[in-house]
Structure 1
Amino acid sequence: MTKRLDNIVVVGQGAMGLLWYHHLSQDNISSSTSANVNINNNVTLLASKQDLLSPNELKTTRYQFTPYQQDHAKNHALIYSAQVDITSADIILLCLKSFHIASAIKKIAKDIPPHCIVILAHNGIGTFEAVAKLLPNTQVILAMLTTHGSLRNAPLTITHTGLGQTDIGLLSGELSNPQKEQLTSQLNLALPHVCFHQDIKKKQWLKLAINCVINPITAINNIDNGEVNDKKFSKQVNLVLTEIIELSQAENIGLTYTDLQAMVYKVALATEKNCSSMRSDILAGRSTEVDYINGYIHRLGKKNNIATPENTRLWQQVLNLKR
């Protein structure tokens, strides 16, 4: 039987980090088999400025979590990661902004055990190359994409705002089929539904295309997601997706315009009242992940000698918004 992945470190105390920390750290009962299975994971959270916390804060900090479609928040104990948690980790799940991923790995790289599964959960593409240089070639690194909604109302206070699906897949290293099934099963018990994909790169590109449209248009125009489906943005959406399709062909990723257009419309409609992450960052005066979204398309265009004027324009406009 495959060894259980009991020791889990979640890196990041934002909306997605706390969402996964909460669900992974709870006792989970599965009745999917003839006997109930009680899951007790050793789950800890590594915060970005944890070294600034006092010994008392490290022991007594709590977080507030409001479950999906419920009104009342509950307080839960927050267990911070110590070095021993990292050196014994079976899974390290990084729920951070894309531009923080490499620096977070760099801080703990020497303590990550060889058997540990490192999972990168962030918007956009472009962090893997930097992470791979910091870890051994044999380190198992996965990408995680999720459509769950989570809102950070205040520090250490989140609300689970929408149920979704999570896709995971290998970026480097090797996992046996039993290991893949074990990992997927454990994540599924915590926060369903989780699917393992042999070709996670295509899934990344699909999400990237959606983000390249919805995030910058909502941030620049200060609108909710649903307004992206307004006819006045049709030409712009067309240009963005056309550039992505051309680049995807150069990168041997099989995307079609009709599928992408339908997905953008569907996601904008399903999240019509939501404020995109990029718009939220702009409104809060935070840095955005645009360098790893439209900026990634810009850089890839230069690499392949393919013009990406609309993605480049949106990338530059968003960068100018935070000045």
Structure 2
Amino acid sequence: MDVLVFGAGSLGSLVGGLLARNHDVTLVGRDPHVEAVRTDGLRVSGVETFETRPAATTDGTGANADLAVVTVKAYDTAAAARALATGDVGAVCSLQNGMGNEDVLADHLDAPVLAGATTLGARSSDPGHVEWLGRGRVTVGPWRPADDAATAERVVEAFAAAGLDADATTDARGLLWEKLAINAAINPVTALARVENGAVAEPPLSGLAKSAAAEVARVASADGASLSAGDAREAVETVARATARNRSSMHGDVARGRRTEIDAINGYVVDRAGNLDCSVPVNRGLAALVRGWEVGAGVRDGE
């Protein structure tokens, strides 16, 4: 299968590197990482250590692929979708944080859209090198009724052929709400406390993280999804322990002084809760704190 990984950060590079063991893969990312992969290949270390040589480019326009795996930040989804629309992709699968990415992709692309979630643990190291910190799994499902389940099954087969633990679901929205609960609990808490994921499974942070997840479950239920507070809390603990050594993407953004995905994660929860008359004080507080840090760091305009 020809696979385009659009967004070769830590997760995108790991997914691309794993897929490149059995498929023709092109990474779309930024220099100096892309240049390092072009010159010396991609090195993966950690759970397994290996080297592979996917193609790599900083320009994702005009690309042809059987599958595009999108791993860019949520605020870059529209730009990625516009670039993908200049080429020809057979299907597109989002493995991104936050809500709303699939709708943006569907608005721009005439191709089946898959929603995906993964618990793979990845961390960028030097250019051309990514650390694999947790084996994890990948779950994908069709986003719209027109996006038939057969496409999801083919993508699962492609992931499985590369040695990844992968499965398909027919409840993509339920999948994304559970992923949102996990991200809303782990990302801002680890970013604000400057700790690895495992810390949110233990006091003093576990109560805060699980409260954030329970609020997401409340909003999800009001929105018609099947997600209980207990299941949300359990999912957070499971993922936090499975990726204990991983540094969340939001933690990485804060450490590097970059814009975060808070709007598509806790910010989305707050906005949706307002429409559904739900109270989400923990998510509201976490969103305000991270946005306040962004303003102070100069990566966000004051609001």
TM-score band, normalised by shorter chain: 0.7 to 0.9
> Does the C-alpha gap of structure 1 residues 260 and 215 become closer, same or farther in structure 2, counting only changes over 3 Å?
same
Q: Is residue 33 of structure 2 the alignment partner of residue 45 of structure 1? A: no
Shift of 1:58: 10
User: What corresponds to 2:102 in structure 1?
Assistant: 128
Q: Is residue 204 of structure 2 the alignment partner of residue 222 of structure 1? A: no
Contact preservation (8 Å) 2:133, 2:246: no
> Does the C-alpha gap of structure 1 residues 75 and 264 become closer, same or farther in structure 2, counting only changes over 3 Å?
closer
Aligned positions of 1:1-323 closer than 5 A: 6-26=1-21, 28=22, 41-48=23-30, 60-69=38-47, 74=51, 76=53, 78-80=55-57, 86=63, 88-113=64-89, 116-136=90-110, 139-172=111-144, 174-176=146-148, 178-233=150-205, 235-237=207-209, 239-322=211-294, 323=297
**Distance (Å, rounded) in 2 between the aligned partners of 1:98 and 1:247:** 20
Which sits farther off after the overlay, 248-257 or 61-70?
A: 61-70
What is the alpha-carbon root mean square deviation over aligned residues? Answer: 2.8
**Distance (Å, rounded) in 1 between the aligned partners of 2:248 and 2:36:** 32
Contact preservation (8 Å) 1:44, 1:85: no
Identity of aligned residues (%): 27
**Distance (Å, rounded) in 2 between the aligned partners of 1:248 and 1:129:** 17
Contact preservation (8 Å) 1:61, 1:78: no
Query: Bigger radius of gyration, 1 or 2?
Result: 1
Q: Which amino acid aligns with 1:125?
A: M
> Does the C-alpha gap of structure 1 residues 236 and 159 become closer, same or farther in structure 2, counting only changes over 3 Å?
closer
Q: Which amino acid aligns with 2:257?
A: G
Unaligned runs of 5+ in 1: 1-5, 29-40
Unaligned runs of 5+ in 2: 298-303
Task: Please list the CA deviations of residues 119-139 of structure 1 after superposition, one character each: whole Å capped at 9, or x if unmatched.
Answer: 111112122233222224xx2
Contact preservation (8 Å) 1:10, 1:95: yes
> Does the C-alpha gap of structure 1 residues 302 and 157 become closer, same or farther in structure 2, counting only changes over 3 Å?
same
Task: Please list the CA deviations of residues 58-94 of structure 1 after superposition, one character each: whole Å capped at 9, or x if unmatched.
Answer: 9953333124445x664636344888972x3211111
Shift of 1:189: 0.7
> Does the C-alpha gap of structure 1 residues 192 and 217 become closer, same or farther in structure 2, counting only changes over 3 Å?
same
Matched residues, number: 294
Corresponding residue SS for 1:307:
coil
> Does the C-alpha gap of structure 1 residues 225 and 7 become closer, same or farther in structure 2, counting only changes over 3 Å?
closer
User: What corresponds to 1:37 in structure 2?
Assistant: none
Corresponding residue SS for 1:155:
coil
**Distance (Å, rounded) in 2 between the aligned partners of 1:223 and 1:234:** 12
Contact preservation (8 Å) 1:66, 1:159: yes
Contact preservation (8 Å) 1:58, 1:80: no
> Does the C-alpha gap of structure 1 residues 200 and 66 become closer, same or farther in structure 2, counting only changes over 3 Å?
same
User: What corresponds to 2:301 in structure 1?
Assistant: none
**Distance (Å, rounded) in 2 between the aligned partners of 1:93 and 1:234:** 32
Shift of 1:281: 1.4
| TM-score, normalisation: structure 2 | 0.85
> Does the C-alpha gap of structure 1 residues 130 and 160 become closer, same or farther in structure 2, counting only changes over 3 Å?
same
